[in-house]
Amino acid sequence: MSEIRFSKDHEWVRFEGDVATIGISDHAQTALGDIVFVELPEVGREVEAGEACAVVESVKAASDIYAPLAGRIVEVNAGLTDNPGLVNAEPLGDGWFFRIEPKDGAEPEALMDEAAYAAFLETL
């Protein structure tokens, strides 16, 4: 498994070859509470870094999910439609939201490694 990187919006990114898998951090799913609905982006959609492209609803609130990288959505996790609780159960695994093919020059350097993300969480 490759290294996970994190955004300040609490999304995680795992690069696998030329595709990046995107989900939300354990911190984010804990803060949201029980996830009851997920709206996923359309496959083929072009997104810019920081653009809202999915929605997650919990018993507490609804929240946008942002693309941490610019690129094209190449796959969505259709399993979340029938079982949105996967986000709570396995936020860094089967609870992923979508996969993106990053644009040339997409900036993964702007993302934090696990240590930097842990330090970031302590500032909140």
Contacts of 109 (CB under 8 A, 6+ apart): none
In 3D space, the residue among 97, 75, 83, 104 whose CA is nearest the CA of residue 13 turns out to be 97
Structural domain including 28 reads 4-108
Residue 56: the pLDDT is 96
Residue 91 domain flag:
yes
Does residue 72 form part of some domain? yes
CA distance 17 to 37: 30
Domain total in the chain: 1
Q: Given this model, what pLDDT does residue 100 score?
A: 96
From start to end of 25-120, where are the E strands? 35-39, 46-47, 52-58, 62-66, 71-76, 98-102
Residue 66 lies in a domain: yes
User: Is 79 inside a domain boundary?
Assistant: yes
Q: Could you tell me the CATH number of the domain that includes residue 84?
A: 2.40.50.100
pLDDT at 53: 96
Does residue 97 lie within any of the structural domains?
A: yes
The ranges of the chain with pLDDT < 50 are 1
Residue among 49, 48, 30, 29 nearest 38 (CA): 29
- The answer to whether residue 123 sits within a structural domain is no
Which pTM does this prediction carry? Answer: 0.94
Cα–Cα dist 117/27, whole Å? 10
Quote the pLDDT of residue 1. 45
115, part of any domain = no
Residue 122 lies in a domain: no
